[in-house]
């Protein structure tokens, strides 16, 4: 499925139906009174959060969404039918903004949560409503109200519990495929993954957690370098970050420097991101050249107050322990916030 996390759409609610001008015509009643019915109300446009969806792809084309108009009133006091509401399903976690004012209208977080973005017009009153004791035969009826319309901007922020970050090629997708049912593309070159991948980590007796592989983070990402900038927003809603490091390229690669450099990007994007708990993980420990340097790197992180997890996403070494820690930490963070 293609991943799209932003969309601009136009919504128009249904117009109200017009009221009707009509007079009763029946045998033996020579001058029947007014019997023009009211118009029906136009349908609303409603957004509804759906936790099964994870892309705004359906809103890239078409961009225009209209609810049904109300029917016009008819003679014999018949009220027009109300227009049907148009319900648009959007992924849970979508921010809804007014495109012009940029005002945040709603943050649709919960499954099934609804928000009316454009209200249908009221139906106009038929001439039957205008009859009075002095005006027995009104020839007046109202037109239906116009339905509201507006441009909206939809912005999806993935609702993942855990974010997986690290430079390109460090093995994020490999780890994701090891610990979840996701099957992302894996290859020996940077920028293999072009959009965030979601996976679900399951353990017996525990609710599943969603993990997002956030690709494209490099130095300067927060200022637009590479493809990572738009994905940084998906880090915002995670509760825990797995920060993956890789020194397999050789001595030129400095894990501590890499760690600081990416954290700098997170901070530059949004200072509150640095408060998120991170698990620091050295990957590719199956390679002798990596293992040789691991103890030294471990002690460097130790001095900074971080425990360093040593894993191989490929062979699975250390992965189960990491997953256990992830569950423990997310549980802890959740219980502190709820
Ligand atoms: N030896 C070894 N190689 C690994 C390990 N994990 C990943 N690799 C290899 O490293 C390369 C990159 O792996 P990916 O999982 O695609 O890395 P990524 O971080 O998702 O990369 P991008 O999507 O490009 O950002 C692939 O050739 C993997 O086979 C590991 O634990 N040990
Ligand atoms: Mg990848």
> In Å, what is the CA distance from 308 to each residue of 71, 177, 208, 274, 334?
67, 21, 25, 18, 23
Burial 140-172 (b: 16+ CB within 10 A, else e): ebbbbbbbbebebbbbbbbbbbbbbbbbbbbbb
Can you tell me which residue has the tokens 């015509």? Answer: 25
Ligand 1 atom, smallest distance to 186 CA: 16
Mean pLDDT of 189-210: 83
Predicted confidence (pLDDT) at residue 175 exceeds the cutoff of 60:
yes
| pLDDT above 80: residue 216 | yes
Mutational test site, ligand 1, from 186, 190, 294, max ligand atoms within 8 Å of CB? 186
- This prediction has a pTM of 0.73
Q: Whose CA is nearest to atom 8 of ligand 1?
A: 171
- Nearest CA among 113, 319, 329 for reference residue 209: 329
Residues 130-144, mean pLDDT to the nearest whole number:
92
What CA–CA distances, in Å, run from 285 to 106, 176, 291, 309, 313? 45, 17, 5, 10, 9
Helix (H, G, I), strand (E, B) or coil at 107: strand
DSSP, res 29: B
Taking the CA atoms of residue 242, residue 248, residue 254 and residue 258 in that order, the dihedral angle to the nearest 10 degrees is -30
- In this predicted structure, what is the pLDDT of residue 185? 85
How much is the pLDDT for 179? 92
Q: 47: which 2 tokens?
A: 């957004």
Instruction: Kindly give the distance from the C-alpha atom of residue 266 to the centroid of ligand 1, in angstroms, as a whole number.
Output: 22
pLDDT of residue 1: 47
Q: What is the pLDDT of residues 300-334, one digit of tens each?
A: 999 999 999 999 999 999 999 999 999 999 999 88
89 CA → ligand 2 middle, Å: 29
63 in Cβ contact with 153 (< 8 Å): no
Ligand minimally distant from the alpha carbon of residue 227:
1
What one-character-per-residue DSSP string does 39-93 give?
PPPPPPEEEEEETT----GGGTS--EEEPPPPPPPBTTTBPPPPPPPEEEEEETT
C-alpha dihedral (318, 324, 326, 330), degrees to nearest 10: -170
pLDDT in tens, 4-63: 788 999 999 999 999 999 998 877 767 778 999 999 999 999 999 987 787 888 898 888
Nearest CA to ligand 1 atom 30: 284
Measured by CA distance, the residue closest to atom 11 of ligand 1 is: 188
Point out the ligand nearest to the CA of residue 282: 1
What is the whole-number distance in angstroms between the Cα of residue 175 and the centre of ligand 1? 8
Q: Which of 68, 21, 17 is nearest to 40 (CA)?
A: 17
134 alpha carbon to ligand 1 midpoint, in Å?
A: 86
């Amino acid at each position: 499925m293609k991943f799209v996390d932003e969309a601009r759409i136009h919504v128009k609610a249904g117009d109200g139906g017009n009221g009707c001008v009509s007079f009763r015509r029946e045998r033996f009643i020579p001058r029947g009174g007014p019997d023009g019915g009211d118009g029906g109300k136009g349908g609303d446009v409603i957004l509804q959060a759906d936790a099964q969806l994870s892309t705004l792809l359906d809103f890239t084309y078409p961009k225009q969404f209209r609810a049904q108009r109300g029917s016009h009133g008819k003679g014999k006091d018949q009220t027009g039918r109300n227009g049907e509401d148009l319900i648009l399903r959007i992924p849970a976690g979508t921010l809804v903004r007014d495109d012009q004012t940029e005002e945040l209208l709603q943050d649709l977080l919960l499954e099934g949560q609804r928000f009316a973005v454009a209200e249908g017009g009221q139906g106009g009153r038929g001439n039957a409503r205008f009859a009075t004791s002095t005006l027995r035969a009104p020839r007046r009826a109202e037109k239906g109200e116009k339905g509201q319309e507006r441009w909206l901007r939809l912005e999806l922020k993935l609702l993942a519990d855990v974010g997986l970050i690290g430079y390109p090629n460090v093995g994020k997708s490999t780890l994701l495929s090891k610990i979840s049912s996701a099957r992302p593309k894996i290859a020996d070159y940077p920028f293999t993954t072009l959009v965030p991948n979601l996976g679900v980590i399951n353990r017996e007796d525990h609710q599943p957690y969603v993990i997002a592989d956030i690709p494209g983070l490099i130095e300067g990402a927060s200022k637009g370098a590479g493809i990572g900038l738009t994905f940084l927003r998906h880090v915002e809603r995670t509760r825990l970050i797995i920060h993956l490091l890789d020194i397999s390229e050789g001595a030129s690669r400095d894990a501590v420097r890499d760690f600081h450099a990416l954290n700098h990007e997170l901070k530059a994007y949004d200072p509150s991101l640095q408060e998120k708990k991170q698990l620091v993980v050295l990957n590719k420990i199956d390679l002798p050249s990596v293992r040789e340097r691991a103890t030294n790197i471990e002690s460097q992180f130790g001095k900074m107050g971080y425990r360093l997890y040593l894993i191989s996403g490929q062979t699975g070494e250390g992965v189960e322990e990491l997953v256990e820690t992830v569950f423990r930490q997310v549980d802890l963070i959740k219980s502190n916030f709820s």
